[in-house]
Structure 1
Amino acid sequence: MKYITTRGWFLLLSASFLLCSHVVRVYTQKSEGALTVVENTDDKGGEGEVVAEDEEVVTVEDEDLEVVQPTEEWQTLKPGQTVPAGSHVRLNLQTGEREVRLGEEKLKYWTQEHRETDESKSSFNFDELKRAMKKMKEELNLESLASRFRPLEELKKDMAELDLLMETDVQILRRLLDQMNSTNTTTEQRLSILLELEYLVHQVDNAQTLCSMGGLPLILDGLNSSDFRLQESSAFVLGSALSTNPVVQVKAVENGALQTLLTTLATAESVSVKKKVLFALASLLRHFPFAQRHFVTHGGLQILSELFKADGGGVLRTRIVTMLYDMISEKELISQAGLDSVQDPSHEERVHQYSQVSLQGELLEKGWCSMVPQLLQSAEHDYREKALRALLAMAPVCLDQYRSNAALAGSLHSLRLQYQEIIQSEMILGEESGYFTELVELIDALQVKMQ
């Protein structure tokens, strides 16, 4: 058994004392390094020498500390010196001095070029940095710098004025209607106003606000204008305001919009005006049986019939047929909904109002059973689709005329062959033919009814 000599006890106690002192110093400086005791194997330390190593050192921000740039060799740190973060620092327990060298990670990439660069760097202190900053402030001309910016009070005043210019939609509508009602407003200005209104009335609330401000009469006056541009723009604004907006639909009927639209449709010469008027008329009649009944009783189908016959391109014909199909489908859907056991309280009233719209009887009387098939002669597939759907919807009252119409039977037969060929070609090419398959199904359904 080996015993520890008196000298050994003395060395052990000394090491413990120095180690505790270093721990207190490290924590006092708020260092986050991990302190370990290792056996020094360097030539400087000697065999068996005990040293304390600090794996990571956080330097203290002291104005008078000199920064020591570590190298790959151990250097002794003097009082008042500090090292960069990440340096490898140890406490020599034999001499009581701190020593520093590069951290392990940096030491791997240490080269002669790094040595020369770091040796050329000089130390600095915070007094010099303070003096340099003070000099920079003195060199700055603060008066000239302030002259580049506006005073805060002036900026606040400008911001307040900008806030006054922020208009709500209601304020914009009021301003536009006032300009529209002014006798000094030119035609070009009115066109610009109508363009802005059309954008605004797409919102349901804005369209209703337009009515409450008395804007509908101004729009209807534009339909009576001699300038076709004002007629077209006014009809566009009216149609946009009426779309899916029951409140505006009621207000429009109360202001005589239906009669104004029918008159404009009968007298306008421009096709573009007629297209926009048909858009406004369809928006007014949609899901509004009261307006549909007045449309039929006030000769609306007769006006559409004359327009259909005069249209050679098919654009107006398609719009007319689509509008008629929508009106027939609405009434049919209401009738089907009446078979449900659960109904809303207003259902009976809607059924009653739709029952007063004698649309299909008027279609038969006004010759629509022979006019709609003419749309099948169009080269546009979309036009043909609209015609087929309308013919199916009109079949309950037009079936006898369909059967006696040889041109209709021939058109259906040729169209079916044409679409069958298209479907086969697309199947060979691996393309989808769902749209043309649907057209063939419509033709088949109509042919079955005609048998």
Structure 2
Amino acid sequence: MGFRSHAALLALLSLLLCCGSALSLKSDYALTVVENPDGGEEGGVEEEEATADEGYLEVVQPTEEWQTLRPDQAVPAGSHVRLNLQTGQREVRLGEEQLKYWTQEHRRGEDLQASFSPEELKQAIKNIKEDLSAGSPPDAGQQDYVVPEYRSLDELKRDMAQLDLLVETDVQIMKRLLEQLNSSSCTTEQRLSLLLELEYLVHQVDNAQTLCSMGGLQLILQGLNSSDFRLQESSAFVLGSALASNPLVQVKAVESGALQMLLTILVTTQPLLVKKKVLFAVAAILRHFPYAQHHFLSHGGLQALSELFRADGGGVLRTRIVTMLYDMISEKEMISQAGVDGLLDTSHEERVHQYSKVSLQEELLEMGWCGLVPQLLDSTEHDDREKALRALLSMAPVCSGQYRSDSSLLGSLLSLRDQYQEIIQTEMSPGEDNDYFADIVELIDALQVKIK
């Protein structure tokens, strides 16, 4: 038989097979002819969709091996179906993507088959929707299961009452701390811990006043008078926190002799940490309290500070001292300027009268502070220089004569001005805020005007 005859016979055979398979299949499949590895020819069928419109179909779970497929069977999507031309039957196995992820665990469960009718699927979907509906109440069985998992509110209240919880107020806590602090059996370490807890509480104005009414101020002063510098430091810290912006406690402290005790500690040999906390307490007792400031000056407070300033070679305390002096000068100036508008009440007149008794600037001149404060300009810290310049400006009304004769001060002002001008022009990055350094330059200019 010639080549053309073989080709014609093959074409006719393929047409008959395609027509016959189309009539015998219940589901729609796309048929393809693939090469039979055994030497024959077979039609490879790649399933696009398994339909179950004609009633019940058994769903076959394919494996990695070819298996025969009956006419009443359907296959899952993605399976590979072919028509064996030697046997005339359809065969199915896993598709290429399915074979890629086929594992031994899947093989062990390949005997399990699932078969569902269309009515069963529709009813299952309907049941799921009903279960998920928001308004569906749980059935009695569910309620019997859920209720025991939760406890009633009465049971919770009863259990909480059995705990006998004790919530202490700040007043009760301070009373307990002071009783322990006053105990003779209290060790130094325990006293330090108690003072730390008190310091946290007395930041509140009411608590600090309550501390005084309970006699706690006397216990704090006893700690200041202790021979243990740790107790002195902690006691000064508690006292300063209680005094901050609290006029009632300020009055009680001055009446109790706290200011004299603090000044005594400053002029005696004490560790630096103690003197830092004592300065903190002194500044707190003097702030906005002209009576205490007058008392401070009359008891040699400026003399004590000048000795401390000269002895502080490291400069740790100098900035604190100069800042405290500047605050005292500024307070008096603000009170005096506030009376310029003529709107004075009785309390303001009394404060002006009290500040008039505080001759701070005159004593600064006598104690040599016009020559001490400029030494702070030698610091490498910008903050120290700024505070020194502000203090020098506030002292200018009484110190301008000494400023003019102080060549070291005039040279420092010129050098600092050039330095900060260079920082503003060259070292500042584009868009960076240079207002701080510009303010320092303005302070220098203002001071130079005062000196001329």
- The reply to whether TM is greater than 0.5 is yes
Aligned to 1:86: none
Gaps of 5+ in 1: 1-70, 74-111, 125-131
* C-alpha displacement of 1:214: 0.5
Name the aligned partner's letter for residue 162 of structure 1: D
- In the alignment, structure 1 residue 366 sits paired with structure 2 residue 386: no
Q: Structure 1 240/268 Cα, relative in aligned 2: closer, same or farther at 3 Å?
A: farther
8 Å CA contact retained: 1:236, 1:279: yes
Per the TM alignment, residue 213 of structure 1 is displaced from its structure 2 partner at its CA by: 0.4
Q: Does 1:406 align with 2:407?
A: yes
Q: Is the partner of 1:354 in helix, strand or coil?
A: helix
Distance in 1, Cα, partners of 2:249 & 2:372:
33
Percent identity of the aligned residues? 68
The aligned counterpart of 1:292 is: 293
Amino acid in structure 2 at the alignment position of 1:156 = R
Other-structure match for 2:327 = 326
| Structure-2 residue corresponding to 1:156 | 158
Q: What letter corresponds to residue 115 of structure 1 in structure 2? A: P
| Pair 118,384 (structure 1): closer, same or farther in 2 beyond 3 Å | same
Counterpart-to-counterpart distance in 2, 1:308 and 1:72: 103
Report the 3-state secondary structure (helix = DSSP H, G, I; strand = E; otherwise coil) of the residue aligned with 2:340. coil
Q: Which amino acid is the alignment partner of residue 378 of structure 1?
A: S
Give SS of 1:314's match: coil
Alpha-carbon shift at residue 123 of structure 1 (Å):
11
Q: Are the structure 2 counterparts of residues 277 and 428 from structure 1 closer, same or farther at C-alpha, using a change threshold of 3 Å? A: closer
Partner of 1:190: 191
What CA distance in whole angstroms lies between the structure 1 residues aligned with 2:239 and 2:289? 16
- Show CA shifts across 1:166-198 (max 9, x none): 001110110010011001111111111111111
Give the direction of change, closer, same or farther, for the CA distance of 1:256–1:116 in structure 2 (3 Å limit).
Answer: same
- Asked if the contact 1:232–1:276 (Cα under 8 Å) also holds between the matched residues in 2, the reply is yes
Name the CA distance, whole Å, in 2 between partners of 1:336 and 1:330. Answer: 10
Q: What CA distance in whole angstroms lies between the structure 1 residues aligned with 2:425 and 2:363?
A: 41
CA-CA distance at 1:115 after TM superposition: 2.9
Letter in 1 for 2:301: G
Q: Which residue of 1 aligns with 2:426?
A: 425
The equivalent of 2:255 in structure 1 is 254
Kindly provide the CA deviation profile for residues 347-392 of structure 1, in whole angstroms up to 9, marking residues without a partner as x. 1111111111111111111110000000000000000000000000
The alignment status of 1:200 with 2:192, answered yes or no, reads no
Is contact 1:244–1:283 with CA below 8 Å preserved after alignment?
yes
**AA at the equivalent of 2:226:** S
How many angstroms apart in 2 are the aligned matches of 1:325 and 1:434?
Answer: 22
**CA distance, structure 2, for counterparts of residue 223 and residue 194 of structure 1:** 12
Equivalent-residue separation in structure 2 for 1:365 and 1:174 (angstroms): 47
Structure 2 distance, partners of 1:373, 1:215, is 41
Q: 1:136 to 1:328 in 2, by over 3 A?
A: closer
Aligned counterpart, 2:118: 115
Q: Distance in 2 between matches of 1:72 and 1:204?
A: 85
Shift of 1:156: 2.6
CA deviations 1:133-153 (Å, max 9, x no partner) are 66996xx9x9xx89x999977
Q: State the distance in 2 between where 1:303 and 1:369 align.
A: 16
Q: Which residue in 2 is equivalent to 1:357? A: 358
Aligned pairs for 1:196-345 (under 5 A) are: 196-345=197-346
CA-based RMSD: 3.1
Per-residue deviation, 1:267: 1.9
Query: Closer, same or farther in 2 for the Cα pair 1:336/1:113, shift >3 Å?
Result: farther
Change in CA separation of 1:419 and 1:121 when aligned onto 2, cut-off 3 Å: closer
Paired residue for 1:64?
Answer: none
CA 1:72/1:269 → structure 2, altered by over 3 Å: closer, same or farther?
farther
Q: Distance in 2 between matches of 1:373 and 1:122?
A: 90
Q: Measure how far apart 1:429 and its partner are.
A: 3.1
The answer to whether the Cα contact below 8 Å between 1:388 and 1:443 also exists between their aligned partners in 2 is yes
Query: Tell me, which stretches of 5 or more residues in structure 2 are unaligned?
Result: 1-51, 55-114, 128-138
Q: CA deviation at 1:238?
A: 0.6
Change in 2 beyond 3 A, CA 1:151/1:347: closer
Distance 1:403 1:155, change over 3 A: same
What is the Cα deviation at residue 344 of structure 1? 2.1
Q: CA deviation at 1:300?
A: 0.5
Q: Aligned-pair distance for 1:159?
A: 2.3
